[in-house]
Amino acid sequence: MTLIDVRDLRKSYGGRPVVDGVSFAVEEGEIFGVLGPNGAGKTTTVESVLGLRVPDSGTVRVCGLDPFADRARTTLVVGAQLQESEMQGKLTVAESLRLFAACYPRPADWRALAARLGLEEKLDTRYARLSGGQKQRLAIALALVGNPRVVVLDELTTGLDPVARREVWALIEDVRAGGVTVLLVTHFMEEAQRLCDRVAIFDRGRVAALDTPSGLVARTASSTVISFTPSRPLEEDVLAALPGLASVAHHDGRVTLAGTDETVNAVIGLLARNRVSAHQLRVTDATLDDAFLDLTGADA
C-alpha cells in the first residue's frame, strides 16, 4: 500500500523554481530516504508532505489525505521531527511527552515509549540538560507518541558523534519494525545506505535518481576499486586494456584501478600470467557517496 504519494510537485519562490516536478511514492513499511545537496528542494518537499507548505501545482497524498486541506486528520496519522526541532529548556522529558500525548485522541503509552527509547531514567531531566543523543531520542519519542502510521525525520543525526548516531540508527530500525513507515531526510550517505530500502536523490529541484542503495551504487561509473603495489611495473597499455576499467592512477609505486567486478577478475588473471606479486592488495566496493557524486556532481 502506498502511504505517501507525491506527483509532479512544483514550488517556486520569487519566480525561482525550488521544486520542479518531483514525483515519488513511499510504500507501507519502508524506510524511504531523501538525499541531495543544500538547495536541492528536499525541505520544501518534506514540508509539502507535512502540509506546512502549499505547492504551486502537483498533488501530495499521505495515507490518502491531502495534508494541507485535511491537516487535522493528517496530523493524527503523521509524526514529524523537523530539522530545527527544539523544546522549551525547562520542560522535563516526562512533561514534554505528556504535553504531546494530550494532543491526540489515542496516544501511545508515553511511559512505555520512553522506556523503549532509553529515556526511562531521564523522565525528570529538563530538556536543556539532555545530551545531543538524548534530545534526538526524545525527538523520536515525540514524533511517535501520537501512534502515527508515517513518521518524517529530517536530519535526525546531524551534530551527533558516531556512537550516538549508530544508537539512533538502531532506534529507527526498531521504529520500522514496529510497523511505522519512515521518510528520512539526511546528508549522511552511510546513514542512507544502512537504513533505507529505497533512496531518492534530489538535484536542482528534481529527482535525479530513485532506486535501492545498491541499485544506485551499481549505476556509478566504477563500482569497484582495486589497489595494490606490484612487485615490478606493469605496462600502461596493458592496464588500459582491462575490461570495465574507468580509471588508472599511480602514486608512490601503488596502482589504483577503478572499474567493475570484471576488472577485478582481469587484474587477478593479468598478475598471475605475468608472475607479478600484488602487495597490500585491496578490493573495495563503491559507496552511496560515489553514486551521489556521479549523479549530482556535488558534495553531500
Question: For residue range 21-69, what is the model confidence (pLDDT) as tens digits?
Answer: 999 999 999 999 999 888 899 999 999 999 999 999 999 999 999 999 9
Residue range 205-228: average pLDDT?
85
**pLDDT at residue 175, as a whole number:** 86
Going by pLDDT thresholds of 50, 70 and 90, the confidence category of residue 222 is low
Mean pLDDT of 197-219: 91
237-271 burial, b if ≥16 CB within 10 A, otherwise e? eebeebebbbeeeeeeeebebbbbeebbebbeebb
Flag whether pLDDT at 300 surpasses 80.
no
Q: Could you tell me the end-to-end alpha-carbon distance of the chain, in angstroms, rounded to an integer? A: 31
Cβ contact 108:71 at 8 Å: no
22 contact partners, CB below 8 Å, separation of at least 6:
6, 8, 9, 10, 41, 45, 58, 202, 205, 206, 207
Distance of CA 222 to the CA centre of its chain: 22
Q: Which residue has the higher pLDDT, 8 or 167?
A: 8
Q: Is the pLDDT of residue 164 over 80?
A: no
Residue type, 81: Q
The span from the CA of 291 to the CA of 295, in Å, is 6
Beta bridge partners of 78: 150
pLDDT score, position 299: 47
Q: Mean pLDDT highest for which of 6-10, 136-140, 166-170? A: 6-10
Position 144 pLDDT exceeds 60: yes
pLDDT at 123 over 70: yes
Residue 57: predicted pLDDT: 96
**What is the average pLDDT score of the chain?**
90
